[in-house]
Copies of this chain bind each other. A is one copy, B any other.
């Protein structure tokens, strides 16, 4: 079966009595082809079941019509948001009739540049972007097309989609303040994810500190992985800080928190309130239903791919910079328990 030489445009051309170039033009529309001829060609293609050979196209035209998403892969720690972003990117990519290549993200830029320079992809999407990111510097310096899920400190000329973590944290803290909480903890992602300079971590912390100051609140900041052991740390903290009645959690850091609270016999939301900054698809799985600020991960993936592809197809297009916000959905946050103030 498979060893039958596959059909080429030459076959289609012969079968419909035109030149190969005419077949090509009929397919691409880059030059006019009479309705009658196009019809004949189309019919021949369907009859014979022709599919243009992609590598040949790519070789000649210098465009692969593919983009590559550099994906942070980790065997054990689940980066759920990244996965949802990937789904979104996949949707957009296939809508634009592009292919999506997924590559393993590395810290250094050489693999990324290789993907571009070998002609495997026309552009790349980067995730887990740091405030200062050498991958970005390199791509920018070389003039390669790319877009970011996330953003750097300096985003001059760069296309990105990011979630406004600063706004989210501010909103969360204000919400808790208004409920009456006076001591709040921020569970931020550990540097094992994205590194020390990881944008969301840095920005969340800054926004947290400034909100505390503004509202004259007591607050603590915990860096927190999701591995089982990490929950001990949270537990210790809660024991040490009995006045702390609420938390803002980023991504899946809600998990060790809920585990620790349960082991301390503190109920959510009666004894402790949580605002989780997290994608809705994950929040839906959590019991009790948490108050959340929805991080629209799917949309971010969609847009990240879209703004990249648009720029690929239109040289003139200026970079898009999108900063998304998520709604606060109040579910199980409550005023703090009345304490015996004696």
Contact = CB atoms under 8 A, between A and B. Distances in A.
B118 A228 contact: no
Contacts of A53: 59, 118-119
Interface residues of A, number: 61
A275 interface: no
A154 to B, nearest CB: 19
Interface in A1-30: 1-2, 6
A99 B80 CA distance: 22
Contacts of A119: 53-56
A222 interface: no
Interface stretch (A36-44, A101-109, A129-137, A318-326): A101-109
Contacts of A101: 66, 99-102
Nearest to A7: B117
A120 B1 contact: no
A250 interface: no
A118 B259 contact: no
Contact of A58 (B55, B281, B289, B298): B55
A46 interface: no
A228 B284 contact: yes
Contacts of A74: 87
A289 to B, nearest CB: 7
Nearest to A84: B78
Interface in A237-268: 252, 255, 258-259, 262
Contact of A91 (B52, B55, B75, B83): B75
B100 A102 contact: yes
A262 B287 contact: yes
Given A71-B90, A142-B2, A287-B262, A54 B102 contact: no
Copies of this chain, complex-wide, total 2
Contact of A78 (B58, B64, B282): B282
Nearest to A57: B55
Contact of A287 (B76, B77, B227, B258): B258
Nearest to A268: B287
A317 interface: no
A288 interface: yes
A333 interface: no
Contacts of A287: 255, 258-259, 262, 287
A73 B91 contact: yes
A106 to B, nearest CB: 10
Nearest to A113: B51
A277 to B, nearest CB: 15
A38 to B, nearest CB: 21
CB-CB nearest 4 A-B residue pairs? A55-B58, A83-B83, A1-B143, A78-B281
30 contacts: A1-B142, A2-B143, A51-B117, A53-B118, A54-B119, A55-B59, A55-B120, A59-B59, A71-B87, A73-B91, A74-B87, A75-B87, A75-B88, A75-B91, A75-B298, A77-B281, A78-B84, A78-B284, A80-B80, A80-B83, A83-B86, A90-B103, A90-B104, A99-B120, A226-B285, A255-B284, A255-B286, A255-B287, A285-B285, A287-B287
